[in-house]
Amino acid sequence: MGKIDRIAEPWGTRTPYGPGQEWPSRVDAFLEEGAAVERWVPSASILHSNGDALDIAVAGGRIVGVRGRADDRVNRGRLGPKDLYGWQAGRSSDRLARPLVRDGDRLVESDWDTAMDRIVRRSKELLDERGPGSIGFYTSGQLFAEEYYTLSVVAHAGVGTNHLDGNTRLCTATAAAALKESFGTDGQPGTYADIDHADVIALFGHNMAETQSVSWARILDRLAGPEPPALVCVDPRPTPVARAATVHLAPLPGTNVALMNGLLHQIIENGHIDREYIDRHVVGFDELAERVKDYPPERAAEICDVPAADIRRAAEVLGTARRLLSTVLQGFYQSHQATAAAVQVNNLHLIRGMLGRPGCGLLQMNGQPTAQNTRECGADGDLPGFRNWANDEHIADLARIWNVEPDALPHYGPPTHAMQILRYAEQGSLGMLWISGTNPAVSLPELARVRSILAQERLFVVVQDIFRTETAELADVVLPAATWGEKTGIFTNADRTVHLSEKAVEPPGEARADLDIFLDYAARMDFRDKDGAPLVKWHDPESAFEAWKECSHGRLCDYSGLSYARLRGPSGVQWPCNDEHPDGTERLYADGGFWSAPDVCESYGRDLVTGTPVEPGEYRALNPGGKAIVKAAAYLPPHEAPDADHPYALITGRTLYHFHTRTKTGRAPQLDAAAPEVWVEVAAADAAARGLAEGDLAEVTTPRGTVHAKVRVTGIREGVLFLPFHYGYWDRAPDGGHDRAANELTLTDWDAASKQPIYKTAAARIALAERGTGPSAAPTTTASAPLAAAGAPTSGGTAALADEQPGGTR
């Protein structure tokens, strides 16, 4: 067994393989020095959407490490840096251990009865005085399915409010929206196993190397083996993906639709389409062919500012692929034409007939570990089981399962999206907002506004978290939650693989599982079904899972063939898993059998420009036979474009070593040290023009605010600045000011169809604040790699030495 510094070598050692072969296993592990492991408890990683299966090592009632599971289909034993080191955060001494309640301008320690009483009293007052529309819930992509499903029942049928959404709105709302537009329903068509078969892999606005690092290791292993796939990368930054690419297109931020139309123009013109597939399985092709006529490569090149020759070359690679795998993520989703752009990738696969066969995969990626479950369970602005809010029969079906009257379920319009819930809070019609497992005071756009909304006296804010976050500081009641490793539940990754994560240790102090908190609320509120029995009829994770299985039965996301026993090993299972597919389902739509018929579909779609829902009758006329839908879109310029005052396009996103607002990774020493403070990525020519050098402290300003960050000069395309969004204020002195979080700068605006906020275009300026004394502390192993040598390369030293066993089994 080898030892390797996985901070310095994030993807570990290569295990090359060829097309159609099985990805060799490699077992990665990281244990506390001298740990004498007593038990291994099965789980999977909860720090991204990859679903890396692992076992948690326990000794003396504490988590002491993790080890990848060789037999699992997702990771074959591998773990990424966050998987290896991130678990240490749970043991942090500053975990919330008791409820807190507000006493004037302070939060004081309290007990569960007092805290829950306050919540219940306020809920009942609001229900009596102002009705269910005065209560809202904003949840996460990081809880378990059992928890979302319970919250979904509590909100939809108990409280009876339509204001329930997840932070999945910021994350994968566009994935769901794009799948609904093209296939009539959410549900990931592809599978990670398509990496083993593809001859072309295209990554659209997806820095997989840093954000799903284990799947990137799978691609690196293909690249190191015989007959490697060609890679197409669409990203304005020189990410590790871009550096490995056969063709790298670096468009101006917010121009994805023009680029996609340019590519589709070429593919159609070159005849690289599957006529037979289109005729049998697709509606809308002619409109697409007509629309993309306006986007010859020269026009797309001009809009996107990329060479026309590169567009031609990429179109040739995509158009001649025999087995094409595409992935799409935030570079497309967090933009003004998010759904329109993501749908064009679906179109690429539909017109080339690249669906449902090995290597022909489409992954409209998720980001968060359990975002898929937020969506399936209806905790995010959807209804449970991909049911259609505009179809009365679906509402009746849900009412039957929950034993309530259909009218008890609000469905006068689509469930309210998070940005609109916030707006209701701002205007005052919302009197209570219950926030679970998300940190909006750092992650929502335009933070000064978010702080002022959450701090209002008239808004009663409940925060359910594991740490005292920036958001918790603004709460009226703070509930201490148990987290991963301290509670049991299932979750589903981006390729529909379901894992069971079992409780390994006790939570700190009085912290309780999110499920128990929601069940306690339901009991104290005394929610009843139509026969007077308790509305929520389950009491623990497994009984909640059984209830969810019943709700999912007969829908695309069918869990009815799964059980906790089945999920105990050896590998996760891909839904749908039912009588028809007892071993799960690797690829959806293998036979061109879609879930888009008017009676079964989850959505009739939306107008991609205005977001207006399509009328049922209109949908029936468009797609009576339940085919896949090709939707065309014209390019529209970003809402906030650079101008003389703010000449740069600002984009924000992630780095390999941190997760979101750093509540976990900032408390894991190896990860924190690898990226200890915020930086801004600047192109060499732009730095020179502004008199900036590596390591200088810069001031980055948009019409919303100013952030101070150290300059990192990289190969990012000219005219674009990049800020990581991880750095909030919890680890700073209370009076440290608000000049570090990227979201001080972002705008209150969203894609009309998916309602996903725009984090990847804003107009900004940059200026010197203070001359630097050395290079910035940005990682050198990632997209932030310096152009010229700048200080010591990122490494973790002996503290980061992890085990690595190629070919390992246990």
Ligand X SMILES: Nc1nc2c(c(=O)[nH]1)N[C@H]1C(S)=C(S)[C@@H](COP(=O)(O)OP(=O)(O)OC[C@H]3O[C@@H](n4cnc5c(=O)[nH]c(N)nc54)[C@H](O)[C@@H]3O)O[C@H]1N2
Please give the backbone phi and psi of residue 152, each rounded to the nearest 5 degrees, phi first: -60, -45
**From ligand X, Mo ion, none, interface partner of 704 (C-beta below 5 to 8 A by class):** none
Q: Considering CB distances under 5 to 8 angstroms, the limit depending on partner class, which of Mo ion, ligand X, none binds residue 138?
A: none
| Closest to Mo ion by CB, 147 or 221 | 147
DSSP H helices in 234-363: 240-244, 256-269, 275-281, 285-291, 297-304, 308-320, 330-333, 338-351
The entry of ligand X, Mo ion, none near residue 344 (CB within 5 to 8 angstroms by kind) is none
User: What does 409 bind: Mo ion, ligand X, none (CB cut-off 5 to 8 Å by kind)?
Assistant: none
Residue 616 to residue 604: CA distance in whole angstroms = 6
Cβ proximity to Mo ion: between 154 and 208 the closer is 208
Is 189 among the residues that bind Mo ion (CB under 5 A)? Answer: no
469 binds ligand X, rule: CB under 6 A: yes
- Among ligand X, Mo ion, none, what binds residue 436 when CB lies within 5 to 8 Å by partner kind? ligand X
What is the C-alpha to C-alpha distance for residues 755 and 172, in angstroms, rounded to an integer?
10
User: Can you tell me which of 742, 758, 790, 800 binds ligand X, judged by CB under 6 A?
Assistant: 742
Nearer to ligand X, 101 or 171 (CB): 171
8 Å CB contact between 503 and 541 = no
Q: Which is nearer to ligand X, 257 or 601 (CB)?
A: 257
**Rounded Cα distance, 66 and 459, in Å:** 41
Among 42, 77, 205, 489, binds ligand X (CB under 6 A): 205
Q: Measured from the CB atom, is 367 or 642 closer to Mo ion? A: 367
Left, alpha or beta for 800 (phi > 0: left; psi -120 to 50: alpha)?
Answer: alpha
By CB under 6 A, what part of segment 395-454 binds ligand X? 436-440, 443
Q: How far is the CB of 310 from ligand X (least distance, A)?
A: 13
Site membership for ligand X, residue 743 (CB under 6 A): yes
- Joined together, the tokens standing for residue 515 give 């499920």
The site map against ligand X for 319-338 (x = CB under 6 A) is ----------xxxx-xx---
- At residue 58, the 3 state secondary structure works out as strand
Query: Minimal distance in Å, beta carbon 303 to Mo ion?
Result: 27
Cα(44)–Cα(61) distance, integer angstroms: 19
Tell me if 170 contacts ligand X by CB under 6 A. Answer: yes
Is residue 585 at the binding interface for ligand X, with CB under 6 A as the rule?
no
Question: What are the b/e assignments for 292-323, b being 16+ CB within 10 Å?
Answer: beebbbebbbebbebebebbbbbbbbbbebeb
Helix ranges (H only) for 476-632 are: 514-525, 541-552, 564-567, 616-622
**283 with 627: CB under 8 angstroms?**
yes
- Rule CB under 5 A: is residue 682 a binding residue for Mo ion? no
Q: Which residues within the stretch 764-803 sit at the binding site for ligand X (CB under 6 A)?
A: 783
Torsion over CA: 153, 159, 162, 163 (sign): negative
Is 234 or 577 the residue whose CB approaches ligand X more closely?
234
3-state secondary structure of 65: strand
Is 12 a binding residue for ligand X by CB under 6 A? The answer is no
Which pairs with CB-CB distance under 8 Å and at least 24 residues apart come from 562-569? 562/490, 562/498, 564/490, 564/500, 567/490, 567/498, 567/499, 567/500, 568/42, 568/500, 569/42, 569/71
368 binds ligand X (CB under 6 A): yes
Residue with tokens 């700073």: 732
**Contact partners, residue 560, CB within 8 Å, separation at least 6:** 549, 550, 552, 553, 554, 577, 578, 579
CB of 641 to ligand X, least distance (A): 12
Check binding of 573 to Mo ion (CB under 5 A).
no
Using CB under 6 A as the binding rule, whether residue 6 contacts ligand X is answered as: no
Residue 137 CA to residue 269 CA, distance in Å, equals 49
616-675 residues in contact with ligand X (CB under 6 A) are 651-654, 656, 658-661, 663
Interface with ligand X (CB under 6 A), residue total: 64
The Cα angle at residue 287 between residues 284 and 292, in degrees rounded to 5: 125
Per DSSP bridges, beta strands 39-44 and 628-629 are unpaired
Identity of the residue numbered 790: A
Q: Residue 240 or 367: which CB sits closer to Mo ion? A: 367
The distance of closest approach from Cβ of residue 439 to Mo ion in the complex, given in angstroms and rounded to an integer, is 12
Instruction: Tell which one of 56, 171, 557, 762 touches Mo ion (CB under 5 A).
Output: 171
Query: Which tokens hold the place of 379?
Result: 């905790």
Name every residue whose Cβ is closer than 8 Å to that of residue 674 and which is 6 or more positions away in sequence.
7, 81, 656, 657, 779, 794, 796
State which residue, 288 or 517, has the beta carbon closest to ligand X.
Answer: 517
Shortest spacing between CB 461 and ligand X, in angstroms: 14
Cα torsion angle, 614, 617, 618, 624, sign = positive
Residue with smaller CB distance to ligand X, 28 or 558: 28
Q: Are strands 573-574 and 763-770 parallel, antiparallel or unpaired?
A: unpaired
- By CB under 5 A, is residue 205 in contact with Mo ion? no
Report the residue from 12, 184, 367, 440 that binds Mo ion according to the rule CB under 5 A: 367
Window 371 to 400, contacts with ligand X (CB under 6 A): none
Residues 106-145 that bind ligand X (CB under 6 A): 140-143
Q: Is 167 in the site for ligand X (CB under 6 A)?
A: yes
Residues engaged in binding Mo ion (CB under 5 A): 171, 367-368
Residues engaged in binding ligand X (CB under 6 A): 48-49, 82, 140-143, 167, 170-171, 204-207, 210-211, 234-237, 239, 251, 253-254, 256, 329-332, 334-335, 367-368, 436-440, 443, 464-467, 469, 481, 483, 514, 651-654, 656, 658-661, 663, 725, 742-743, 746, 759-760, 783
